[in-house]
Structure 1
Amino acid sequence: MGRAVRLPRPPLPRFAVAWFPAFEGLERIEAYRRRHDPMANDVAAHLTLVFPFPTALTALQLETHVRKVAAGWPPIPVTFRAVRVQANEFVFLMAQRGAQSIAALHDRLYARSLRQHLRTDLAYEPHITIARSLDPRQLDVSFAEAERDLAGEFHDVLREVTLLAVAPDGRIERIRDFPLDTR
């Protein structure tokens, strides 16, 4: 009798937490993203609070954690306005008003069972990725176009966060929305 063949384990499920803004003028951002962000067809403009991570935790365990954090957090008035090139690959729309509160919410979401997934080598700066390119010339064009087409301010109130599942093929599914404390 031969040795049993061990099949490789399937990859762990991946999850993330994000906020999907409803800015006045969001259609301008989405039109820009369709031209410059390869992820534009996969996911709407969003601010990532917990970056995609693999875990053996169940969706229910993650929902419980996110619900608990969100329920104790007040809504955050936000303004996004400045665009910036990051890491010679991305163009970000940066949070101005509310950035410190968003960063504190990010830190709280990474508490407890998610702490091991926090990247401590990178500072968290609240942003919405609006373009991505490895071609420096294209990145320069994208940045100049963002400065022109997305001039001004985008205002909203962060009132809920969304738990997302990220499939191995990159498909992103919304699992559940969690309102922030609305007392």
Structure 2
Amino acid sequence: MIKRCIMIFPHFESGHVIDEIREKYDPLANHVRPHITVVFPFESNITSEMLKEHIINVLSEFKPFELVISGITPSINFGRYLFLNVAKGSEEIIKIHRKLYTGVLEEYYPKWLIGNKFMPHMTVGNLEDEEAFKRAINDTKHFSDSFKTIVNKVSVEIIDENEDSIIENDISF
């Protein structure tokens, strides 16, 4: 069984700002680059070739699109998270997310997502401690930077036993 995730790794001119926030608040900052998850971590025996073919077929329906992210919002739905919000490009990401969870990936749709709306975001914080979470919310509440890029590919990562990200495939559209 291989543990994988499918993500968008946006490249921003001032991406170091995001890196600095993640270094403070996200324990995965040193394991995976800033990303937007489109298929959540799943374990399977799907071959690399089968998965790549599925993704190529799905992405053939899409064109590159502009992504704008700005503003940090706390989320307590599934833990204590800080999300960098998708201000533009959300509709496209939701469509990609839905289409990817068909075919060979249909059975891996997360049970916890059933009945919940998929909200594209970039996680910049994940805090265990309630007081640390409150401080992080206060520290980031006035964060107003905006980041823009063009999204034209998704990446398949393998998540190793140390939670490190190993890129298996980059698939452009």
Question: TM-score scaled by structure 2?
Answer: 0.91
User: Take 1:36 and 1:19, find their aligned partners in 2: how far apart are those partners?
Assistant: 20
Partner residue of 1:60 out of 49, 56, 71: 49
In the other structure, the counterpart of 2:137 is: 143
- Deviation by residue 1:37-78 (Cα, 9 ceiling, x = unmatched): 000000110001101101121111111111222233111211
Q: Secondary structure at the match of 1:96?
A: strand
Question: TM-score scaled by structure 1?
Answer: 0.86
Larger Rg belongs to: 1
CA 39–105 in structure 1, closer or farther in 2 if over 3 Å, else same: same
Partner residue of 1:123 out of 100, 111, 117: 117
User: Take 2:49 and 2:161, find their aligned partners in 1: how far apart are those partners?
Assistant: 20
In the other structure, the counterpart of 1:171 is: 164
Gaps of 5+ in 2: none
RMSD: 1.4
In the other structure, the counterpart of 1:9 is: none
In the other structure, the counterpart of 2:104 is: 113
User: Take 2:65 and 2:58, find their aligned partners in 1: how far apart are those partners?
Assistant: 14
Q: Percent identity?
A: 22
Q: Which has the higher strand share?
A: 2
Q: Number of matched residues?
A: 168
Q: Is 1:74–2:63 an aligned residue pair? A: yes
Matches within 5 A, 1:43-54: 43-54=32-43
Matches within 5 A, 1:147-162: 147-148=141-142, 150-162=143-155
Q: Runs of 4+ in structure 1 displaced over 4 angstroms? A: none
